[in-house]
């Protein structure tokens, strides 16, 4: 092989390597972007039949216009949707008897619709089974309009308002994150003559409480309580930017049970832990009785709203000294403190108003939280899972995201 042939062979090998490596590199970058959430496809709401300014839905005055609301979850797993529909009341009006027909095969809980001047709002969710989270394009509901005014050769739009929202149980999302990124309007042209008719209408800061000083044998804890402070949740433990940074209960009671190497209970103790705004964790020390001697122990911990957790690893206790335990994450959603996440916790949220279109704070006397249906659940304040003073879709979505762990240790 002469020099020219050798150069040609080398160039060919380099070109072949580039052809192979470039797609792999692009694929890896795309995967990294999706994992980081930067290039992930957000959820979208659109109408069917599809329409545009150049290809509008055509109707005549007096015609019925039925359009479907569809959700495309993108890379998310949608659990909850709130949609607000806006329209020109001089061109179309909702059918009074049945303005919206819900896709009840998918959505088992609904609030609304609430109709105000030229808007319709409704919230829907998949219920208590997180395996039914929406992972493909799905019809949400069918809206029933009537054409009442000519567009005179132009068009009128039915759009999604700013209250529209979608929540997800996906691993790259957060419990309080609105994953709805795009909405597409319905464009309608109406011919004929006619005028509008009346449309029916419906009308604390971080704690400064000192952490108690413990003398003698003690365990120092730093707790990451899911949905609060620096904690994320089960699918996304580090996703904390939308977690509640101002919990209404900055001091919690922590209960611990200590077991020896034969799994015998040697101590039950409790003490307060206090929210530290700097770290976003609940910090405190729990003293142990003198009967707990130097040795190796396992420890289970529990606080209100959270499942009991076996602290990972063996704790090497030294009599008379304080031992610092590595930070522990606790699973949220145990509203009745029975150490299980199940339909009882879901029913409590449902009865206390999580699906309300405009949920009121718990301290508002008109809030569903203060109704008889809610008060049968105890303790009612623990139904507010992320401790922000309002029982809403965030609590519901956080509960669903935590359900991969249903039983405490």
> What's the confidence (pLDDT) of residue 112?
84
pLDDT band at 40 (very low <50, low <70, confident <90, very high): low
pLDDT band at 271 (very low <50, low <70, confident <90, very high): very high
Compute the distance between CA of residue 376 and CA of residue 79 in angstroms, rounded to an integer. Answer: 26
Q: Report, as an integer, the average pLDDT of 194-205.
A: 41
> What's the confidence (pLDDT) of residue 1?
52
- Tokens 């396992």 belong to 298
pLDDT band at 116 (very low <50, low <70, confident <90, very high): confident
pLDDT band at 108 (very low <50, low <70, confident <90, very high): confident
**Can you point out the beta strands (E) in 117-237?**
119-125, 138-147, 156-160, 165-168, 180-183, 186-191, 218-225
Return all residues near 16 (Cβ < 8 A) that are at least 6 apart: none
Q: Which of 211, 212, 171, 407 is nearest to 310 (CA)?
A: 407
Q: Which of 146, 150, 186 is nearest to 55 (CA)?
A: 186
Residue 8 has pLDDT above 70, yes or no: no
The structure's pTM equals: 0.80
Residue 119 has pLDDT above 50, yes or no: yes
3-class DSSP state of 245: coil
- Tokens 């590199």 belong to 25
> What's the confidence (pLDDT) of residue 194?
58
3-class DSSP state of 82: strand
pLDDT band at 97 (very low <50, low <70, confident <90, very high): confident
Q: What is the CA radius of gyration of the chain?
A: 28
Tokens representing 99 are: 């303005």
Tokens representing 141 are: 């509901």
Q: Among the listed ranges 200-204, 250-254, 337-341, which one has the minimum average pLDDT value?
A: 200-204
Compute the distance between CA of residue 191 and CA of residue 152 in angstroms, rounded to an integer. Answer: 7
């Amino acid at each position: 092989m002469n020099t020219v042939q050798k150069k040609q062979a080398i160039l060919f090998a380099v070109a072949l390597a580039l052809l192979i490596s470039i797609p792999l590199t692009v694929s890896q970058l795309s995967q990294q972007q999706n994992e980081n959430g930067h290039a992930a496809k957000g959820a979208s709401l659109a109408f069917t039949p599809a329409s545009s300014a150049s290809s509008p839905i055509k109707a005549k005055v007096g015609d019925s216009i039925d359009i479907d609301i569809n959700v495309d979850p993108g890379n998310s797993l949608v659990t909850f949707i709130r949609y607000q529909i806006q329209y020109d009341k001089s061109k179309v009006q909702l059918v009074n008897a049945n303005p919206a027909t819900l896709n009840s095969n998918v959505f088992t809980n609904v609030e609304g619709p609430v109709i105000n001047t030229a808007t319709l709002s409704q919230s829907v969710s998949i219920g208590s089974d997180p395996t039914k989270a929406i992972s493909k394009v799905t019809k949400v509901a069918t809206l029933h309009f009537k054409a009442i005014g000519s567009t005179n050769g132009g068009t009128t739009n039915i759009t999604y308002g700013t209250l529209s929202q979608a929540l997800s149980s996906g691993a790259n999302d957060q419990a309080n994150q609105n994953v709805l990124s795009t909405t597409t309007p319905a464009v309608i042209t109406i011919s004929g003559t006619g005028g509008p008719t009346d449309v029916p209408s419906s009308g604390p800061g971080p704690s400064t409480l000192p952490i108690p000083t413990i003398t003698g044998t003690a365990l120092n804890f730093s707790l990451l309580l899911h949905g609060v402070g620096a904690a994320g949740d089960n699918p996304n433990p580090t996703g904390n930017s939308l977690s509640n940074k101002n919990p209404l209960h900055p001091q919690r009671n922590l209960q611990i049970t200590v077991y020896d190497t034969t799994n015998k209970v040697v101590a039950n103790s409790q003490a307060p832990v206090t929210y530290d705004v700097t770290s976003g964790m609940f910090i405190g020390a729990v003293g142990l009785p003198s009967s707990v001697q130097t040795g190796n122990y396992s420890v289970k911990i529990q606080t209100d709203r959270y499942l009991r957790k076996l602290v990972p690893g063996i704790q090497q206790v030294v009599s008379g000294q304080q031992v610092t335990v590595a930070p522990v994450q606790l699973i949220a959603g145990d509203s009745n403190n029975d150490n299980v996440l199940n339909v009882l916790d879901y029913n409590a949220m449902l009865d206390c108003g999580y699906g309300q279109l405009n949920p009121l704070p718990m301290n508002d006397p008109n809030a569903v939280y203060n109704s008889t249906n809610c008060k049968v659940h105890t303790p009612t304040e623990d139904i507010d899972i992320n401790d922000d003073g309002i029982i809403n879709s965030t609590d519901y979505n956080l509960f669903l995201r935590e359900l991969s762990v249903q039983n405490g240790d």
